[in-house]
Amino acid sequence: MAVVIVTGASSGIGRATALRLAGRGWTVVLAARRAAELETLAAEIAAAGLGAAHVVPTDLAEPDAAGNLVKRTVELTGRIDALVNNAGVGGDASVLTGDGEVRAIIEVNLLAPIRLMRVVVPVMREQGSGAIVNIGSVAGEIGIGGAYSASKFGLRGINDSVRRELAGTGIGVSLVEPGFVATELTAHRSGLPGPEIVAEAVERVIKRPRRRVVVPGKYRAAIVLSNAFPFITDRVYAGKAAGKAAGKAAGNSTGKTAAN
């Protein structure tokens, strides 16, 4: 039975991906910080008679977490057929965002996938096969999200590099880049497609690796347009992040005055 690690599995895209792959009979290893949510998901998978599910609570902001997760997976299942690097955090789009928030974004969105690939590749090389799927973002193609965009641009770069490095080894490396979909990070938006659309894309590239998949497909045009005519994106987003940052700073200042 095939084994897949899904990070950020407690909600959103990760949860939907774990459910979809378990529904195909895969053994899923559920990784996230929130152990209670993982246990609930594992129980749901078991109750539905789907593939096996193992809960491995993991905080990928910790440098040793990647190695511990892969080691535990091999102990539990004996192999790793796929890794879905989905865990991620968002943040303010302004360059004025503080170091703590920026470090958290980079640690989880970029360093954690690198660490996980570093420890999972030897396992897959020994097996002679495997699939790595990195969950990027349209914000990794169009710079509008501050440190979040930077982390996803970086993820796109390492994905391309690792894909080329592993060519011919039997290990596929794919990048799935969602636009806005309904998750905890987009709770303030309405009318968005569910995370299942991303889970479907993940399943496809595990079976047949591809360089990049953008979902929903409509965002491909936005990426092409922004690359061809960057001045349009400049005009659309000019000053927006700075305005939000100023508003937040004013709110914080008001809050401090009231507290005093």
pLDDT of res. 258? 39
Residue written as tokens 């990049």? 212
Q: What is the pLDDT of residue 1?
A: 78
Residues of the chain with pLDDT under 70: 185, 241-260
**DSSP one-letter code for 192:** P
Q: Compute CA distances 113 → 36, 88, 123, 250, whole Å.
A: 23, 10, 16, 36
Q: What is the CB neighbour count within 10 angstroms for residue 173?
A: 27
pTM over 0.75: yes
Residue 53 to residue 74: CA distance in whole angstroms: 14
CA atoms within 13 A on the CB side of 248: 13
Spell out the alpha helix ranges (H) of the chain: 12-23, 35-47, 65-77, 99-106, 112-127, 147-165, 196-207, 219-228, 230-237, 240-259
What is the C-alpha separation between 83 and 123, in angstroms, rounded?
11
**Separation of alpha carbons 7 and 24, rounded Å:** 18
- Which of the listed CATH numbers 2.40.30.10, 3.40.50.300, 3.40.50.720, 3.55.50.30 matches domain 3-226? 3.40.50.720
Q: How far is CA 237 from CA 41, 143, 167, in A?
A: 39, 10, 38
pLDDT at site 13: 97
Q: Residues with catalytic annotation?
A: 148
Cα dist from 77 to 25, 144, 256, 258, whole Å: 14, 41, 52, 55
Measure the CA–CA gap between 82 and 5, rounded to whole angstroms: 6
3-state secondary structure of 32: strand
DSSP single-letter state for residue 188: T
CA-nearest of 32, 19, 130, 37 to 88 is 32
**Residue 58, SS3 per DSSP:** coil
Residue 189 token pair: 């938006």
pLDDT at 260: 33
* Structure tokens, 164: 């080329």
Location of structure tokens 């977490």 = 65
